[in-house]
Amino acid sequence: MRTILSKRNGIGAAAFILVLTLVGFGLFPRSERRVTLLNQGFRVLTARSSYGTTHKLYFARWPEGELREQFHHWGLKVQRSGGVQIGTGKASYAFMLRYTGQLARNELDQVRAEIVDDSGVTAPVHGAESYNPTKNEFARIWEFEHPPTNTATLRLSLATSGVRLAEIRIGGRNVR
């Protein structure tokens, strides 16, 4: 009798997690993103954007990090994935990137970003970072306070030590 109940509970828990995952995919739609790698030693694992006053990026695939944090918040004993978070005083756009590579660690640690619009005008960004030594992965969030109000295609241009690493196309419509 106990074995049957254990199996039912296990199946029920698995079904519950599956439903939460599917709901998560529906609640957090992914926007189209185009990554152009300009250096063979650089690899983008996750690229996302966010709007609001709190921006979070986890060292786990999307939406696993969010689900793990929610389970932990509910008191379930799950391993948290870690990551980076920034809070801003007013609503802003943020571009979040999880990456790794075959470059030296100090080069990966010094990745800098700027926003470039259709006409080539650049805008600086600032933010926060985190490093996972177990996976040799970096998570960064760059905040962009003043997006253009016109229709524009923006690119997040990444470089380190004067070497261009990648460009990420962010949008093709009005970004507001």
Q: Which two tokens stand for residue 70?
A: 């929610």
What pLDDT was estimated at residue 39?
A: 93
| Residue 55 vs residues 8, 39, 43: alpha-carbon distances, Å | 38, 27, 22
* Predicted local distance difference test score (pLDDT) of residue 8: 60
- What pLDDT, on a 0 to 100 scale, did the predictor assign at position 132? 87
Report yes or no: 45 and 58 within 8 Å, Cβ to Cβ. Answer: no
Q: Say whether pLDDT at 2 is over 80.
A: no
Domain ranges of the chain: 31-61+77-169
Which band of pLDDT confidence, cut at 50, 70 and 90, is reported for residue 49? confident
Closest CA to 161 of 101, 112, 93, 95: 112
Q: pLDDT per residue over 109-154, tens digit each? A: 999 998 888 888 888 788 888 888 888 899 898 888 666 555 567 8
Class in CATH terms, 31-61+77-169: mainly beta
Q: Which residue has the higher pLDDT, 108 or 23?
A: 108
Query: pLDDT (tens digit, 9 = 90+) per residue, 4-47?
Result: 545 565 565 655 665 555 555 444 444 445 889 999 999 998 88
- Residue 100 is predicted with a pLDDT of 93
Handedness of CA 56, 59, 61, 67 (dihedral sign): negative
- pLDDT tens digits for 54-99? 888 777 766 777 787 788 789 888 887 777 777 887 888 888 888 9
More confident residue, 83 or 164: 164
CB atoms within 10 A of CB 116: 17
